[in-house]
Structure 1
């Protein structure tokens, strides 16, 4: 599998399982209806961990244009690959959202709330004020990138211990290499619990834009509008916040 296909598949997995838990909680007559915010945030954390485990060794599991652009801004990812990565991330997110629609096909007609249906695809602010929503997404994505770099550069960068002629991985090195996807999942869980309330924590332009496009196109029973007036915030704010968080990390740690 090449890195572009890996990003497509990984992002589709992320959205299938992430938006899937939202659908499970908010759609009428679902077994998980009214499961609450902790179920949603836990589901998103597990979705992120599984997606990163699936494709991390192939593409680095960016799964997020904010991550791709932040790494490119640091010089850790080639700018020539950025457009292709972003394109397949958005496409993968749209496909993942389409799979959620199919998985819950019987429930869209059972649900009257058009906002709840849109929530199964994309984010919306709890309070309809653009500036606070932008600030929230900026801060949240900055913290997200800071955490991602801490896991990837500090955790996974622990050197091995050389014992005689043998080279034995240290416990910390093993944790950094094999446990990092789980730590990413915990980071996503933490983001949702701590900073997800105001906007639903997009922290990922593809996660919001791809499913919003799917919502616009798909014949979802009883759907409303796709809220394109808000759509620029979960795209632009995470990009700027992610780059800022990455630059702050580098200024502090030099990594």
Structure 2
């Protein structure tokens, strides 16, 4: 009978992995937001930081839980890769709580600088940008679906047992995240991960009020629904249109196909 520690390990792995992802990504975002100067390279540096967060978070937890650190990936794995339905709720809860805890740690490090940001105009406090994504609803939804489709397609390809890239999966996943983010938007507007936005958004609600959910025509649902749709599409395209079965791959290697 497995010990309680072994049973809990995958959930702790997802919690810690998502926490690492969020600390690295939100930390870079907060640093940009509180910087006294504005540079055109902000989107690049933020995208690279989030990509590094994906790499580190995956490295921490891949051997323990599969390194999902993203509810959209967990759901796509459930649909296409045999991930256990019994684990889904626990994984999503662990990922969301990890993102919440990561937001708290970022706030501890940047609270003084964030407090110095002046709130001159009516509406949402500008410091919330350190924690949540924001965009117009329909352009944002299209961005989330498209970027998540590209990213999760890469996730399935990289983690394929017949793909040699699996040996460098964390690095490749970080690169894929950075590429999708740079190509289609900015991490200030793009989540690619429901937990990455919802966990910090709940934390931001304690600091700045429930307006964080009403902002931009109740935009909060977009970083949840968009990545899930994109992930399902990405998983479908890889599993049904791209992937070769293991037997055919072996025949190719042997020169018999």
Same fold at TM > 0.5: yes
Structure richer in helix, relative to its length: 2
Question: 8, 14, 31: which one pairs with 1:7?
Answer: 14
User: Which residue does the alignment assign to 2:220?
Assistant: 231
CA distance in 2, matches of 1:234, 1:183: 23
Deviations 1:70-122 (A, max 9, x none): 01011431111101100111010000001000011210121125554112111
Q: Deviations over 1:169-200 (max 9, x none)?
A: xxx4xx532x1101111111101110124972
> Relative contact order (alpha carbons < 8 A, sep ≥ 6): 1 or 2 greater?
1
- 2:50 paired with 1:50: no
Pair 1:115–1:251, CA change in 2 (3 A): farther
SS at 1:106's partner residue? helix
> Do residues 157 (structure 1) and 146 (structure 2) align?
no
- Structure 1 residues not aligned, in runs of 5+: 159-171
Distance 2:179 2:100 in 1: 25
1:142 corresponding residue in structure 2: 149
| C-alpha contact (below 8 Å) 1:205/1:234 kept by paired residues | yes
Residues of 2 paired with 1:207 and 1:142: CA distance?
17
Judge conservation of contact 1:62–1:68 (CA < 8 Å) in 2: yes
Give secondary structure in 1 for the equivalent of 2:114: coil
Structure 2 segments unaligned to the other structure (5+ residues): 245-257
Number of matched residues? 229
The equivalences for 1:78-97 within 5 A come to 78-97=84-103
Deviation string, structure 1 residues 11-51 (Cα, Å, up to 9, x no partner): 0110011000000111145xx86561111111111111111
Q: Select between 227-236 and 34-43 the one with higher mean Cα deviation.
A: 34-43
How much has 1:205 moved relative to structure 2? Answer: 0.4
Aligned partners of 1:44 and 1:184: how far apart in 2? Answer: 11
TM-score (norm 1): 0.83
